């Protein structure tokens, strides 16, 4: 059998094409499946009330939701009005840049693209000059910390030519910290007081409202808050209040939340959550202050992001669906503008979060002082839970009022002692598991406020035994309508001398 020269060339081209195509189709990365219900079952801790079954949406539902696109974001510059007009015009001239149009090929690509996912907003609205003016006003009225000439929590997005949109609800919105010198730390406990901003804006809106619209407004705002915070199986007063709460009262609650703390969906008005530091997340075994989700591998980071960027609203909590129609029925996939991250986007986000490094520590203390502080740290027993080198034992501590079921001792890492802090976040909210995780002390120098609800502003306050008194005025989050409040529990290092306390804090600020 003889082949012509042309046939041989054709065969060679064909073989070459198959080889190239095959090479391109071969997945470059081993990407875990995000919505894997068998994995999710282990990943999610049960609610504190174990009679409530949490059922996430099915795999087919999740994967039938359209994927979102991650477009290039641009900073929001805090300039004069005229200069801003020119800036917006320059953005309008740009073409949209879809970051995931080409698949990443290397780890470096993944980390770089992951940062863009971190920055990518999941909510967009059209830019208007009104927005820009209101933003500048709210920075003043809600005392929002901003970096040098930039509003670092939102971005501008160009997703179609000659249109500029404002992007909100990115990971970066809550996990960007503005330091006193105006520099920013990505991934750290954020400083955007979103709730306070909403409270201030809501107050202005409410004042402008005619009396006949008040009842309707109350109802609408309440419905939104039920979706955000309600756990109907819990009969605690904080949950019952949601059924009748007025807009004015909600506004008062919102205004009480300081930077670094958040009225996270699934938490509640007087049980907000401290915003966690994502730097070092690779070494954490549990996510959320209540340890709601396990972190066994990058797949769990992908699941965490998927759930917390919207899909936990579609969980059924014993029949209650926070994001459901009438809180009962799932919307059709793709309805109400629901989008999901692609698997590659979530994988890249995980890689980026794993790559986060703490900023250079500017603190400098005398070596003797730090050494002494370390000794105090060991002597006072801190080292048992905040064990080096991670400065956490990565365990869950049951709160007062919760007895771990026998099965939990095998399934989870339980450090079987309550440190007697306020148990409400862990008991009376949707995110409540009956536990608080032991937080790492790495990076406390750039963090604050402290405690699972951010009740004290500084380490000095945390180690001040006056916080245990009923007439104490919390320096961090102080619940609305409370003039004073004891910040109870975690009674370690409260009886040491002033000198030892200074040394201990110096040591902690070197971590």
Partner 1 sequence: MKTTFMIGLVMLFALSTNWVFGQDSWKIDSTQIVFHISNAGLDVEGTISGISGNLKFSKNKLDKSFFAIEAKAGTIQTGIKLRDKHLKKQDYFDVERYPSIKIESKKIIKSKDGFESVCAITIKEQTKDIVIPFTFIQTNKKAEFKGSCSLNRLDFGLGEKSLVLSETVKIDFWISASLVTN
- Helix or strand run (H / E) with residue 398: strand 396-398
Q: Which of 268, 315, 399 is nearest to 53 (CA)?
A: 315
Buried b (16+ CB within 10 A) or exposed e, 11-38: eeeeeeeeeeeeeeeeeebebbebbbee
Least spacing, CB of residue 426 vs partner 1, in Å: 17
In angstroms, the CA 83 to CA 5 distance is 67
Which are the contacts of 61, defined by CB distance < 8 A and separation ≥ 6? 314, 330, 333
| Shortest distance (Å) from residue 416 CB to partner 1 | 4
Q: Compare residues 17 and 468 and give the one whose CB is closer to partner 1.
A: 468
Task: Please say which residue, 91 or 419, places its beta carbon nearer to partner 1.
Answer: 419
The distance of closest approach from Cβ of residue 380 to partner 1 in the complex, given in angstroms and rounded to an integer, is 7
**Binding interface with partner 1 (CB under 8 A):** 375, 378-381, 383-384, 387-388, 409, 414-417, 419-420, 491-492
> Min. distance of Cβ 104 from partner 1 in angstroms?
36
C-beta of 375 vs 480, nearer to partner 1: 375
Residue 59 DSSP SS3 = helix
Q: Which is nearer to partner 1, 226 or 375 (CB)?
A: 375
For the chain, first and last CA: distance in Å?
76
Here the tokens at position 422 are 């306020």
Supply the minimum distance, in Å, between the C-beta of residue 458 and partner 1.
23
Report, in Å, the least distance between residue 456 CB and partner 1: 19
Q: Evaluate whether 456 touches 449 at the Cβ level (below 8 Å).
A: yes
8 Å CB contact between 111 and 348? yes
Q: Where would I find the H helices in 335-488?
A: 343-355, 367-379, 382-385, 406-411, 424-427, 459-462
Q: Which is nearer to partner 1, 33 or 282 (CB)?
A: 282
Minimum CB distance to partner 1 smaller for 109 or for 413: 413
By C-beta, is 215 or 417 nearer to partner 1? 417
Q: Which of 263, 229, 266 is nearest to 245 (CA)?
A: 229
Kindly state the smallest distance separating residue 326's Cβ from partner 1, in Å.
Answer: 44
């Amino acid at each position: 059998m003889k082949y012509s020269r042309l046939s041989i060339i054709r065969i060679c081209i064909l073989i070459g094409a198959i080889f190239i195509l095959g090479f391109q189709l071969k997945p470059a990365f081993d990407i875990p499946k995000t919505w894997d219900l068998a994995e999710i079952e282990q990943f999610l801790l049960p609610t504190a009330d174990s009679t409530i079954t949490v059922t996430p949406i099915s795999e087919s539902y999740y994967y039938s939701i359209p994927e979102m696109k991650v477009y290039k974001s641009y900073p929001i510059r805090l300039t004069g009005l005229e200069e801003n007009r020119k800036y917006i015009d320059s953005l309008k001239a740009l073409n949209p840049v879809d970051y995931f149009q080409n698949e990443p090929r290397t780890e470096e690509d993944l980390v770089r693209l992951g940062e863009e996912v971190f920055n990518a907003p999941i909510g967009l609205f059209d830019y208007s000059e009104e927005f820009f003016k209101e933003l500048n006003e709210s920075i003043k009225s809600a005392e929002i910390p901003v970096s040098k000439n930039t509003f670092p929590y939102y971005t501008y997005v160009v997703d179609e030519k000659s249109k500029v949109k404002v992007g909100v609800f990115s990971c970066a919105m809550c996990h960007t910290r503005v330091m006193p010198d105006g520099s920013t730390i990505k991934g750290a406990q954020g400083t955007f007081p979103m709730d306070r901003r909403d409270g201030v804006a809501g107050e202005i809106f409410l004042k402008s409202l005619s009396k006949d619209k008040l009842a309707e407004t109350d109802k609408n705002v309440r419905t939104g808050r039920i979706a955000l915070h309600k756990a109907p199986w819990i009969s605690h007063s904080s949950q019952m209040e949601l059924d009748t709460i007025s807009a004015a009262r909600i506004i008062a609650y919102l205004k009480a939340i300081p930077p670094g703390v958040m009225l996270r969906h699934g938490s509640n008005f007087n049980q907000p959550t401290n915003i966690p530091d994502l730097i070092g997340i690779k070494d954490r075994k549990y996510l959320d202050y209540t340890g709601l989700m396990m972190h066994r591998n990058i797949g769990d980071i992908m699941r965490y992001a998927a759930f917390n960027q919207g899909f936990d609203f579609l969980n059924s909590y014993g029949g209650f669906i926070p994001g459901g129609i009438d809180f009962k029925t799932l919307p059709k996939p793709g309805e109400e503008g629901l989008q999901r991250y692609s698997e590659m986007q979530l994988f890249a986000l995980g890689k980026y979060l794993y790559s986060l490094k703490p900023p250079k520590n500017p603190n400098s203390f005398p070596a003797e002082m730090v050494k002494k502080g370390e000794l105090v740290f060991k002597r006072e027993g801190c080292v048992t839970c905040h064990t080096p080198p991670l400065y956490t034992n990565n365990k869950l501590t049951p709160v007062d009022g919760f007895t771990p079921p026998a099965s939990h001792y095998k399934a989870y890492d339980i450090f079987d002692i309550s440190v007697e802090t306020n148990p409400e976040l862990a008991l009376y909210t949707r995110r409540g598991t009956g536990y608080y995780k032991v937080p790492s002390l790495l990076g406390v120098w750039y963090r604050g406020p402290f405690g699972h609800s951010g009740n004290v502003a500084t380490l000095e306050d945390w180690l001040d035994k006056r916080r245990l008194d009923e007439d104490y005025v919390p320096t961090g989050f102080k619940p609305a309508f409370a003039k004073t409040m004891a910040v109870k529990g975690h009674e370690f290092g409260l009886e040491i001398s002033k000198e030892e306390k200074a040394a201990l804090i110096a040591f902690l600020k070197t971590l």
